[in-house]
Amino acid sequence: MPYPLLVFDWDGTLIDSAGAIVACIQSACRDLGLPVPDEARAGHVIGLGLNDALSYAIPGLAAAEYGRVVERYRWHFLARDPEIPMFPGARAMLAGLRDRGHILAIATGKSRAGLTRALDNTGLQPLFAASRCADQCASKPAPDMLYELMKELGTDAANTLMIGDTVHDLQMAASAGVQAVAVSHGAHPGATWSRSRRLRAWRISMS
């Protein structure tokens, strides 16, 4: 067990939500008469905190407009949320890792309320020892989530592995000195993160 602590991203890594997030961002923009980002631009922001996500997805959007966009996004997302499935094999994989003695944690761009709702919907709360969300500390790609999780759970970078699906996850891990696994599904295609020379990660497929 070379990595006692396994830290998972949520959206696009454990749950197949990337398509829903992109569609909800686009729908919110249409509702408000704003420029609608294409799939690639909307998908790139998955995992980021709110301000960074909106500034990238909708270039030039005034900060005063963020609240309106978020309100419409949440309206669309809440209608879809209960039906968003986990990736096949994810539930069994998590239970197996926990049973083998690993400590499991989550580092996500979701809000605390959003993660709580997602864990309730999936019934996975008992598997995770701790979590950090984008409204609790600096969001990805800053290393703060990993630093706080390692401190809370009493471990260090050498004993921690980050598992995610986006460049933001891998940059966070690199900044924290933590090894990373990049899954081959999710929000960012493999070519996106493999072009970033700062990132050192293994690529896996979930089966």
Catalytic residues: 9, 11
Residue 71 CA to residue 93 CA, distance in Å, equals 34
Residue 68 CA to residue 29 CA, distance in Å, equals 10
Sign of CA dihedral 115, 150, 190, 69: positive
What's the gap between Cα 81 and its chain centre? 15
**155 in Cβ contact with 16 (< 8 Å):** no
Query: Quick one: which H or E segment has residue 168?
Result: helix 167-176
